[in-house]
């Protein structure tokens, strides 16, 4: 026990007096991700994507060395606040990147607001952060929850010709924002939502939810996350619902879930997102090849978002010759920068949220040169230049208020 | 110098040192350390509320995080949505935790494992509300921009001021807590823990006393929740998660159950490992696990328990030595 007390005392002293021990000219980037706990794998994907980019460019930007300091947030806002403060005060980072979990977003943004340390908010997706609760030092480089849901609702009506749909949404902020975003555009075109089934995060068995799908509905649109994706898919096929209804995934099978799937899911519409692994552009091909070579797996959308965030920051820093110490100049540089990342062209709207392409993906079995035969998401439709406000004016959207139930 | 005196001196020095650290943190460190210390104090108070039931009454509650969250959400909503003055918002926060405690208090009719299960279920009820009722609680997005408390024109304006406010309130309620556990009522709780049937036979209404202890516990948890909302300035479902209830129980177990300081020592260890050790050791959960295992195996009375045992043993040795010397003197005469 005394040993651990001593090491904590040492840590305290090191923290208080050791802050100046980091090299003076390097640009320091503080990255906040869950490295332990339930979302550790997603956090690792994100970290890999970020580091992959900086390794490719020799860890250098604006003529200065780049140093990355990763802090573990455990997907808990109390920890995220401390992690952000530690990076800001002890490590004296020039700007922050992260966090991953939605509810950590406001906590970290608050630290950015009180310290003035710029935050590139990614992948945390809470709608409010670039709409009702904006903080001047916070710029989002990921996406807003409902952003990709709006075009998806129109896709259901226009492309798939569906008129009667049942939604199954995960009952928490991200699930509600995503589900209700698609409901809004689907209904605006004249579509009928037969029912929205809300599944709590504590759901272990999807059979009761699927049993209450109204007869006569044409398709079921799930928004499920994490391990719920596997639970949902198992129940769906085991109980034979695939023979009764169409399954159109709004947030169902991202790359990390496909690893656990078999050929029953081939051909399903799997997800509407700002990235799809099958995007056929040289930028994405180069990213996919480099990621597979470095980590031996297909990159998740967390990896891509952090990769293009690094690219974004890099170009911004280059454009101001590495003068990240002037925070206003840096923030403005990020706002002025437009890049073409693996997920396509990216630029910010006036509310500091990216305008980007929404891809609707379908699962296909693909022969990968190094990974062999794998399931992969391939875009079947894409909507370029999608804003977080879709076709509404920002004023209309903000007036209407957040998607809640 | 005898061992006992050395131990007492060590205890005094540790206490003074803790007091000094408590006082100078905002000036010796930076906002990271100030925020961390404030969290330690707040969760220490929450841990005390758990210990009142766990060590003193023999009930293992899994819902104190719920009281904590109800109070935090109440304060955040009243301040942010309705602009209620801080003293009223704070009182309403504590009261709402107390009312929740009165309702959840029916669980004292169960005992042992059943009490744990009932309180676990009730606690999860609050978590479910905070996650799913987004129109009320903001769901995962939480309630942001909770202001620092103010009284008329007097306003807490910085984390440093907030820290001292937290320290003052926590010390006040810790002293109050000490009064509670030393009062006849507190001692009767110990009696209930040791033998319910004997206390019943002595004419105590055991159920009522357990119920009152439960409500008092919820009030202390509520105070911690109010401080949490004002300090962190942001309330999300994480405040009502099971993890908070579990950790609040682990803190006194680590530090020394049944003692006032034990809860805070436990808070230092748990929050310290998670936020400080994680900074330079990616395998910090292993450290946390090892600390738990070592304490449970070798120090079942917690870290303070080691100290108290040592002190008691050397006191006894001193007494034995004194007695022996006396015997020798008497024999010589």
| Beta strand A269-273 pairing with A246-247 | unpaired
Q: State the nearest Cα–Cα gap between B318 and chain A, in angstroms.
A: 25
A30 contacts A93 by C-beta, under 8 angstroms: yes
Q: What mean pLDDT is predicted for residues A338-346?
A: 96
- With cut-offs at 50, 70 and 90, classify the pLDDT of residue B172: very high
- Rounded to two decimals, the ipTM of the complex is 0.85
Q: Residue A36: is its pLDDT beyond 80?
A: yes
Q: At A151, is the secondary structure helix, strand, or coil? A: helix
- What pLDDT shows up at residue B1? 61
Q: What mean pLDDT is predicted for residues B242-250?
A: 93
Q: What mean pLDDT is predicted for residues B281-307?
A: 90
User: If you measure CA to CA, which chain A residue comes closest to B130?
Assistant: A172
- What pLDDT shows up at residue A202? 85
Q: Residue A277: is its pLDDT beyond 90?
A: yes
- What pLDDT shows up at residue B333? 72
Of A69-73, B72-76, B280-284, least confident by mean pLDDT is B280-284
Q: Residue A237: is its pLDDT beyond 50?
A: yes
CB atoms within 10 A of CB B203: 6
Give tens-digit pLDDT for A365-374.
Answer: 999 989 999 9
Residue A120 β-bridge partners: A97, A139
CATH (one of 3.40.50.2300, 3.10.129.10, 3.30.1330.10, 3.40.50.720) for A149-273+358-387: 3.40.50.2300
Q: What mean pLDDT is predicted for residues A181-198?
A: 96
Residue B147 contacts A, CB cutoff 8 Å:
no
Residue A340 β-bridge partners: A345
Task: Decide if B35 and A85 are in contact by the 8 Å CB cutoff.
Answer: yes
Distances (CA, A) of A264 to A225, A233, A253, A267, B77: 19, 10, 12, 8, 47
Q: Residue A71: is its pLDDT beyond 80?
A: yes
Closest CA to A251 of A233, A224, A228, A279: A224
Which residues of chain A are within 8 Å of residue B299 when distances are taken between CB atoms? 1
- What pLDDT shows up at residue A13? 43
Give tens-digit pLDDT for A134-188.
Answer: 999 999 999 999 999 999 999 999 999 999 999 999 998 899 999 999 999 999 9
Of A157-161, A250-254, B153-157, least confident by mean pLDDT is B153-157
Task: Indicate if A149-273+358-387 has the same CATH topology as A2-145+282-353.
Answer: yes
Task: Decide if A16 and B35 are in contact by the 8 Å CB cutoff.
Answer: no
Which of B21, B27, B32, B255 is the mutation pick for testing A, counting most A CBs within 10 A? B32
**Residue A183: which H helix or E strand, with range?**
helix A173-188
Q: What percent of chain B has pLDDT over 70?
A: 100
Which of A101, A106, A116, A126 is the mutation pick for testing B, counting most B CBs within 10 A? A106
Domain edges within chain A:
2-145+282-353, 149-273+358-387
Average pLDDT of the residues of chain A: 91
Q: Residue B9: is its pLDDT beyond 80?
A: yes
CATH number of A2-145+282-353: 3.40.50.2300
Q: What percent of chain A has pLDDT over 90?
A: 84
Q: A361 CB contacts (<8 Å, ≥6 apart)? A: A269, A270, A271, A272, A273, A276, A278, A377, A378, A379, A380
Q: Closest to A172 (Cβ–Cβ): which among B131, B268, B295? A: B131
User: If you measure CA to CA, which chain B residue comes closest to A135?
Assistant: B145
What size, in residues, is chain B?
333
A274 contacts A358 by C-beta, under 8 angstroms: yes
Closest CA to A248 of A154, A376, A357: A154
């Amino acid at each position: 026990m005394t040993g651990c007390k001593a090491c904590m005392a040492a840590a305290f002293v090191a923290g208080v007096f050791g802050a100046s021990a980091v090299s003076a000219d390097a640009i320091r980037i503080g990255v906040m991700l869950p490295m332990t706990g339930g979302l550790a794998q997603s956090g690792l994907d994100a970290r890999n994507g970020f580091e992959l980019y900086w390794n490719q460019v020799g860890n250098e930007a604006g003529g200065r060395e780049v140093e990355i300091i990763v802090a573990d947030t455990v997907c808990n806002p109390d920890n995220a606040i401390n992690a952000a403060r530690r990076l800001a005060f002890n490590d004296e980072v020039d700007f922050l990147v992260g966090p991953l979990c939605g509810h950590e977003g406001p906590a970290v943004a608050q630290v950015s607001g009180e310290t003035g340390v710029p935050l590139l908010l990614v992948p945390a997706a809470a709608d409010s952060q670039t709409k009702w609760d904006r903080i001047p030092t916070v710029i989002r480089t990921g996406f807003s929850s409902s952003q990709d849901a709006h075009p998806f609702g129109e896709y259901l009506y226009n492309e798939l010709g569906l008129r009667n749909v049942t939604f199954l949404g995960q009952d928490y902020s991200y699930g509600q924002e995503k589900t209700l975003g698609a409901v809004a555009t689907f209904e605006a075109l004249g579509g009928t939502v037969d029912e929205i089934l809300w599944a709590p995060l504590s759901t272990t068995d999807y059979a009761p939810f699927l049993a209450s799908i109204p007869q006569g509905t044409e398709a079921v649109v799930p928004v499920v996350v994490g391990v719920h994706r596997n639970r949902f898919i198992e129940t769906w096929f085991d109980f034979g619902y695939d023979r009764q209804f169409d399954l159109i995934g709004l947030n169902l099978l991202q790359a990390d879930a496909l690893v656990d799937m078999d050929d029953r899911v081939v051909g399903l519409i799997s997800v509407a997102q700002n990235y799809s692994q099958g995007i056929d552009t040289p930028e994405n091909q180069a990213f996919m090849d480099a990621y597979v070579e470095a980590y031996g797996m297909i990159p998740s959308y967390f990896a891509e978002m952090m990769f293009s965030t690094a690219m974004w920051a890099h170009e911004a820093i280059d454009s101001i010759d590495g003068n990240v110490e002037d925070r206003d100049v840096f923030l403005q540089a990020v706002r002025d920068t437009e890049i073409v990342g693996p997920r396509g062209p990216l630029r910010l709207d006036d509310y500091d949220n990216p305008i980007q392409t929404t891809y609707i993906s379908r699962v296909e079995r693909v022969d990968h040169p190094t990974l062999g035969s794998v399931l992969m998401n391939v875009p079947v439709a894409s909507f370029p230049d999608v804003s977080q406000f879709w076709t509404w004016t920002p004023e209309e959207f903000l007036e209407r208020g957040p998607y809640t139930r | 110098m005898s061992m006992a005196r050395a131990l007492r001196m060590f205890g005094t020095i540790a206490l003074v040192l803790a007091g000094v650290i408590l006082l100078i943190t905002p000036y010796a460190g930076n906002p990271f350390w100030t925020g961390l210390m404030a969290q330690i104090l707040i969760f220490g108070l929450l841990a005390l509320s758990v210990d009142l039931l766990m060590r003193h009454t023999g009930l293992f509650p899994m819902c104190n995080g719920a009281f904590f969250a109800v109070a935090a959400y109440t304060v955040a909503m009243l301040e942010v949505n309705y602009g209620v003055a801080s003293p009223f918002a704070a009182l309403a926060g504590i009261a709402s935790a107390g009312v929740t405690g009165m309702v959840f208090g029916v669980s004292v009719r169960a005992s042992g494992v059943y009490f744990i299960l009932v309180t676990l279920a009730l606690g999860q009820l609050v978590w479910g509300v905070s996650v799913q009722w987004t129109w009320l609680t903001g769901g995962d997005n939480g309630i942001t921009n909770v202001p620092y408390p103010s009284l008329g024109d007097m306003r807490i304006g910085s984390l440093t001021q907030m820290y001292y406010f937290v320290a003052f309130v926590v010390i006040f309620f810790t002293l109050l807590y000490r009064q509670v556990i030393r009062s006849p009522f507190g001692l009767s709780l110990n009696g209930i823990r040791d033998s319910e049937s004997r206390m019943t036979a002595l004419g105590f209404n055991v159920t009522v006393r357990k119920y009152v202890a439960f409500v008092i516990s919820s009030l202390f948890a509520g105070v911690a929740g109010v401080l949490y909302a004002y300090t962190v300035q942001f309330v999300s479902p994480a405040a009502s998660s099971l993890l908070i209830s579990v950790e609040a129980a682990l803190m006194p177990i680590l530090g020394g159950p049944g003692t006032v300081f034990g809860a805070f020592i436990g808070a230092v260890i748990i929050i310290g490992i998670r936020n400080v050790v994680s900074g330079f050791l990616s395998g910090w959960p292993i450290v946390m696990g090892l600390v738990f295992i070592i304490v449970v195996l070798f120090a079942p009375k917690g870290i303070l328990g080691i100290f108290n045992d040592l002190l008691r043993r050397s006191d006894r040795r001193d007494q034995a030595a004194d007695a022996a010397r006396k015997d020798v003197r008497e024999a010589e005469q």
